[in-house]
Structure 1
């Protein structure tokens, strides 16, 4: 009888103890190689190097082959870019909110605003975002970055797609986000 009571007590304690990940460290670095969308006749390519910091996710972008000017840049829901960048799905939006600017309190998690290509079509910039991460609810590992043909209106335009994708146009380049060797 005492053994049965002790066993049921241990079983109750074990089932009420929350599970913890003890052997799976949070990745500190990730990367994405951007390639042109096959349906867009461009030669865009680039890299996004990602580091998790205490102040947010730090993105270092180097992209070439874009038309000069602003281009929408987002994290999309899926890590699939075959047969083209459309396979990446919509913007990463775990909270089911409307599109906005990176600084807006209401925005898709994947809304990273605009990147600016210089007169040679090169983007060499850094972004720090406090919403997306390399673990947890806003984890971007296994999702995709997408570069759009046009400027993102940050959800402030009058176009029908303004509140869903910033009216940023076609997808001209994309890349799957993966864990990088630290």
Structure 2
């Protein structure tokens, strides 16, 4: 089984106090697991610090979060539906919990490992700015 994890750290770009870096109040964890020879990946997550309502969860091209979501590039089209994993919904306390299966490669040339994961202010297709960002990494 292949596994990956993305951790939103509720602090900053992940680089500490860097000139020009963006900050975020979003925190949480998203896990990815894919059985051998399976096309679908199981995605589970809990993300807090969001405004209540719907938000797009999108894989972006680059794992560069030095400038927040601005340095992650555009949606990574080979993942899910043109990079969009799902529209997730935060409750009245700003927490979104989700459990789904999507076509998200964890290996080969189209792997999402090392790419950016961004929670956007609005749902797709007009998702607006990123409000939380992190890097998808191998799970140990």
For structure 1, the residue ranges without an aligned partner over 5 or more in a row are: 1-26, 96-101, 153-165
The answer to whether the aligner puts 1:47 opposite 2:29 as a matched pair is yes
> Paired residue for 2:127?
168
TM (normalized to structure 1)? 0.65
**2:136 counterpart SS class:** strand
For structure 2, the residue ranges without an aligned partner over 5 or more in a row are: 13-20
> Paired residue for 1:90?
74
> Paired residue for 2:17?
none
Structure holding more strand per residue:
2
What is the CA-CA distance between 1:94 and the residue it aligns to? 4.7
CA distance in 2, matches of 1:127, 1:94: 18
> Paired residue for 2:5?
31
What is the CA-CA distance between 1:137 and the residue it aligns to? 3.5
CA distance in 2, matches of 1:138, 1:56: 14
Q: 1:177 aligns with which of 125, 128, 136?
A: 136
Which has the greater radius of gyration?
Answer: 1
TM (normalized to structure 2)? 0.82
CA distance in 2, matches of 1:137, 1:111: 18
* Pairing of 1:69-80 with structure 2 (within 5 A): 69-80=53-64
